[in-house]
Amino acid sequence: MSQAKSAEPRPYHHGDLRNALVDAARRLLEAEGPSALSLRAVAREAGVSPAAPYHHFKDKAELLDAVAHEGWHTLNTQMAQAKSEDGGALTGLGIAYVCFAHENPALYRVMYDAVREKEALPEDMQDNKDSAYCLVRDTLIEHGADPAAETHLELATIAAWCGAHGLAEMSGFKQFQHLKDELGGEREFLAAVLGHMGLFTK
């Protein structure tokens, strides 16, 4: 494992240990998976003692929250990019969402583990202009949803998100491989399933 970046004998005070810990956690997560992500391992990876993280995070959950926060941020920007590239079709957003989950499986899991613990939407997804949630809602409006029918709009956004999250967790199943082969690829499979959700038509 990469032991931080430099070989010089780190000064007693790290300088920016908080960020270093979050980075180390992401590195470990990617390399070893979520089950290997112990606080102690993160501290080792960052080159500090096992107790050091407690001066920056209340407990392990709070460190994972910080990792998840970065994850939501990345997801938001990737979906915004997908929207601009794809001409703004809802299916494109759905595929971008699922692809993010596939490309960062461990991170995606940490993101939703945190969310399940709190039983609440992460702040990064709430009524923040840059959130993927709002991106989806705006896209629905562009495709004809009535912006005045707030409840309707909110329900539709939730439905789309539920479908995308479900697909993100399911589409990796081995049992679906034959469908991907049949349809000519992963993306085609995703688009087909999303298409069957109604909301994602077109």
Q: Can you give the binding site for DNA, defined by CB under 7 A?
A: 11-15, 17, 38-41, 48-52, 54-56, 59-61
Taking the complex as a whole, how short is the minimal distance between the CB of residue 163 and a second copy, in angstroms? 5
- Residue 163's binding partner among a second copy, DNA, none (Cβ under 5 to 8 angstroms by kind) is a second copy
Select from DNA, a second copy, none the partner in contact with residue 120, using the beta carbon and a kind-dependent cut-off of 5 to 8 Å. a second copy
Min dist. Cβ of residue 176 to a second copy (A): 7
Q: Measured from the CB of residue 201, what is the shortest distance to a second copy in angstroms? A: 8
Which listed option, a second copy, DNA, none, makes contact with residue 38 (CB within 5 to 8 Å by class)?
A: DNA
The minimum distance between CB 152 and a second copy, in angstroms, equals 8
Positions that interact with a second copy (CB under 8 A) = 109, 112, 116, 119-121, 126, 151, 154-156, 158-167, 169-170, 172-176, 179, 182-183, 192-199, 201
Residue 185 interacts with which of DNA, a second copy, none, CB < 5 to 8 Å by class: none
Please identify, using beta-carbon distances, which residue of 17 and 194 lies nearer to DNA: 17
* CB of 42 vs DNA, minimal distance in Å: 8
Task: Tokens 């959950």: give the residue.
Answer: 61
Q: Which residue lies nearer to DNA by CB, 59 or 181?
A: 59
Least separation in angstroms between residue 101's CB and a second copy is 11
Give the Å distances, CA to CA, from 152 to 90, 93, 134: 17, 20, 14
| Residue 32: contacted member of DNA, a second copy, none (CB under 5 to 8 Å, by partner type) | none
SS (H, E, C) the chain: CCCCCCCCCCCCCCCCHHHHHHHHHHHHHHHHCHHHCCHHHHHHHHCCCCCHHHHCCCCHHHHHHHHHHHHHHHHHHHHHHHHHHCCCCHHHHHHHHHHHHHHCHHHHHHHHHHHHHHCCCCHHHCCCCCCHHHHHHHHHHHCCCCCCCHHHHHHHHHHHHHHHHHHHHHCCCHHHHHHHHHHCCHHHHHHHHHHCCCCCCC
C-alpha to C-alpha distance for 115 and 3, rounded to whole angstroms: 30
